[in-house]
Amino acid sequence: MDRSIIQANSPKKVVWLYELDHSRQPFICLAKESLIDRGYSVTILDSANQPWSGELQRSAVDGRARSGSDRTGGRTLTMRLLARVGMWFRNGWLRSVPGARWAEKLFWYFGMAVRAVSERPEVIISTGIQGAAMAWMANGILRSRLVYYPLELYGEQHNQLRWWWKPFERLFIKYGIDALVTQNDERAKIYVREKGARLTPTIVHNYKRWQHIAPTGRLRERLALPENIRIVLYEGMLGHGRWLKNLVLSAEHLPDDVRLVFMGEPSEWWRSNVHPLMAMREIAQKVLVAPWVQHADLLGFVADADVGVIIYDDSARNNYYCEPGKLSDYVIAGLPVIAPNFPTIAPVILRYQIGAVFDNPAPERIAQAMREVLATPKSSWRNAIQAARKDLVWETQYPAFEKAVFGNGDPASLARI
């Protein structure tokens, strides 16, 4: 089969490999839903699909196949053996053997690769550096079309990778893939100039699906805030790698009728470094923390706010060249935005005139950007936000994603970024 393009009469079956829980990654879920809506078959293998997962354990014990696709004798036997060895790693004597942790990880890679092979897909998508290892292993047998869709700049994060993953990714990008998908031009330049990509990266922005969203009052009700109190909202991870301490301290410089609201899951870093600041009298009066909500319910809460905040620190390039999905969240929910003056965020906000940016993380400068946006009534931002909403949504990005996944019949072009 020609790996550069999936022919029109192909079954177009996709296997997606990811080492974490894909249900907590909205862009994998969104892309999967869109592919299924277009008639493709998509199977995601992630951290929930351990080789010793419940179904495989049952098949190892009583000899039943995991699913209809595994009922041939060879596949059933392979899955039963994988499940049995996995049970030994998890519950048996193998855990006490020196090096068992590494062996268990390698076994997981091998088991996931075998499961991918058993699906016999036309396309394999890998997201995550470990998912890439599993995908390349599986594709050594399948020779399917292999698409790399990383959502992070690996090696450019606060959480450092093991040293061997950087050279692995360079080899994978250079020799292993048929398409590379990334989130913006700045990240594409890094893949080409520094990571040795031989293919032109496809840009698929982290935008969410268009929805009609109206304020529901649920956020105000949950926080017991009256209508005359304006809300500046940050939704997202409450952890390291964001200027969250500065953001909390900026509340001291906000008008008395404004509340700075954080909505997310507090990390240990937050509890140790940020939460104590809320005992300060000037802060306690103006900062509130709302419980995290499921992504499916999120925008109904977001729409109650008056301003949305995007904030990362600039100490890692994964942040500096970020592509935050919350920009799309805020725009879809009808909110103007403030964000740092980073090259992948600020131009969008300024081009569509949907908010303000700050060029300095000092609390006073962050508060200045908030006051600048709050000085204009929320209703006056409506026309600009509606214009942005036509572009900053997933529907504008999906065609490029589908083209990258299945190919377009043209020879792969060399990157000239």
Give 238-274 pLDDT, tens digit per residue: 999 999 999 999 999 999 999 999 999 999 999 999 9
Pick from 97, 93, 140, 98: which is nearest to 116 by CA? Answer: 140
Highest average pLDDT, of 85-99, 291-305, 331-345, comes from 331-345
**Helix, strand or coil, per DSSP, at residue 239:** coil
- Long-range own/partner contacts, residues 69-77 (CB < 8 A, 24 or more apart): 69/118, 69/119, 70/118, 75/118
Please check the confidence at residue 347 and state whether its pLDDT lies above 60.
Answer: yes
| 63/36 same-domain check | yes
Looking at the structure of the chain, the number of domains it has is 2
3-state DSSP: the chain helix, strand, coil percent, rounded to 5?
Answer: 50, 15, 40
pLDDT: which is higher, 295 or 406: 406
| 77/224 same-domain check | no
pLDDT of residue 63: 36
Q: How far apart are the C-alpha atoms of 358 and 349, rounded to whole Å?
A: 11
| 177/277 same-domain check | no
Q: Which of 69-78, 218-227, 383-392 has the lowest mean pLDDT?
A: 69-78
- The pTM (predicted TM-score) of the whole model is 0.86
| 296/386 same-domain check | yes
List, for residues 62-112, the tens digit of each pLDDT value.
333 334 444 444 455 555 555 555 555 555 555 566 556 666 778 778 889
Determine, yes or no, domain membership for 5: no
List, for residues 140-177, the tens digit of each pLDDT value.
999 999 999 999 999 999 888 889 999 999 999 999 99
Determine, yes or no, domain membership for 7: no
Q: How far apart are the C-alpha atoms of 159 and 99, rounded to whole Å?
A: 23
Determine, yes or no, domain membership for 209: no
Confidence label for 409 from pLDDT (cuts 50, 70 and 90): very low
| 200/228 same-domain check | no
CATH number at residue 325: 3.40.50.2000
Please check the confidence at residue 7 and state whether its pLDDT lies above 70.
Answer: no
Find the domain containing 55 and state its range. Answer: 13-204+397-406
Determine, yes or no, domain membership for 412: no
List, for residues 359-383, the tens digit of each pLDDT value.
999 999 999 999 999 999 999 999 9
Determine, yes or no, domain membership for 4: no
